[in-house]
Structure 1
Amino acid sequence: MPTTPTLQDRQDITDLMVGWIHRDLGEWDRLRDLFHPGARIEITWFEGAASDFVDASARMATTDLRTKHLVTAPRVTFSADGTRAVSETNAVIVAENSSIGLGCNGHNRFIDRIERRDGVWRIVDRKSVYDFATFTFPAGITEIDAEVVAKYPREYGALAYVLDRSGFPVGRTFATKGSELERDIKEPAFAWLDEEAGA
């Protein structure tokens, strides 16, 4: 039976998106709680189970690389039965590696598949589309290897370069604004909304 999403549903999903602050604060158990069991995540430096991502993030936090995420309110589309949703959320990834004196600002959009199970909304799949990125120089101008930057799409080249120099290599090409890879993320996500629950 179709169910009209409530304001509480929308607030709960917004709380999931802004809950990414738990990663920045090192609140690993609370970060883990944003995901349903079996959830997956694919971003520049990590692809796999969300539970493993939390562990990998905790390890990253012990290095010289620091990150902060500025997250907006999501745009949310619900399934007809009200048990699933797809959200698209603008974010800014601010990164800095103090040992190399280099940082970046990366602008992306998280595309999340979200399910309500036993009355609780959590993420089941998170992917990212990258819009553009720029370098920052917290301690003054630092030399950058342009050939290495050019290996990556311009939309996230600065982010990938800082990640790579920090020991977190980007192993494949990821979705950028308007790309076929973006369509490959979004079209199946919205088709998933039309699937019968439990199918």
Structure 2
Amino acid sequence: MAIRKVVEDWAVLRDSGRWDEFASVWHDDGWMTATWFQGPFRDFIRVSREGFERGVQISHFLGGFTCEVAVPRAIAQTKMKIEQRASVHGVDVDVTCSGRFYDFLELRDGRWALVRRQPIYERDRMDVVNPAATVQLDTALLDLFPVGYRHLAYAQEQVGYRVMRGLPGLTGAAIEKLYEEGASWLAGSPEPGQPLKNLSQEDD
């Protein structure tokens, strides 16, 4: 129940802009990966807050939950949807991405909190907000992004974010590596896996 509360608090506090409370779901060395960000949780809070204050609309919705616990460690997986409203080629759209949050947690001084969060992106879609409108996507650009989050990535790059490639999806090498890192974390690994490719690096 304590782990589930951390997961629920993450979504509610982040999406409502309650930044001081949002910091409480993390341990001091916690770090986050998103399509558009990778780094320490404090930096994630800063950039999320900046986006929130300039009107970036990203919401998170949670579903089924499971976790493996090997005290003082845990791995939690939670079904989720990410929704973002953005302007793409001058047309307002809603993008919905379905997947899972894959969380590395630890019990320290009686408190469960996040050490790492890695979303898994399984599938997504883009819908126009006004049913009378249409949007024409650049197919060549769309095909540059992984299938699990290609529409989300397309929209995010249109509004100025730099999006990571190679993030975990439903199948493939990236998700298998993540599962291995999770098993190692439960077995006592000193680190919750390794950061993925830096956003500042050029794609191969």
| TM class, shorter-length | 0.7 to 0.9
Aligned partner (choices 144, 159, 178) of residue 171 of structure 2: 178
Letter in 2 for 1:144: L
Q: Distance in 2 between matches of 1:100 and 1:12?
A: 42
Deviations 1:147-188, CA, capped at 9 Å, x for gaps: 211110111001101111111120332111111100111111
Alignment of 1:1-199 (within 5 A): 11-19=1-9, 20-79=11-70, 82-97=71-86, 100-139=91-130, 140-195=133-188
Which residue identity is paired with 2:5?
Answer: D
Give TM-score scaled by structure 2 length: 0.86
More moved, 16-25 vs 116-125: 16-25
Q: Is the 8 A contact 2:146 2:165 kept in 1?
A: no
Cα deviation for residue 65 of structure 1 reads 2.8
Structure 1: 5+ residue runs without aligned partners?
1-10
Mapped partners of 1:62, 1:165: distance in 2: 19
Q: What is the RMSD computed on CA atoms of the aligned residues?
A: 1.7
What's 1:3 paired with? none
Identity %: 23
CA distance in 1, matches of 2:97, 2:190: 35
Q: Secondary structure at the match of 2:38?
A: strand
Pairwise CA distance, 1:35:
0.4
Unaligned runs of 5+ in 2: 192-204
Q: How many residues align?
A: 186
**CA contact 1:113–1:126 (8 Å) conserved in 2:** yes
Q: Distance in 1 between matches of 2:113 and 2:155?
A: 30
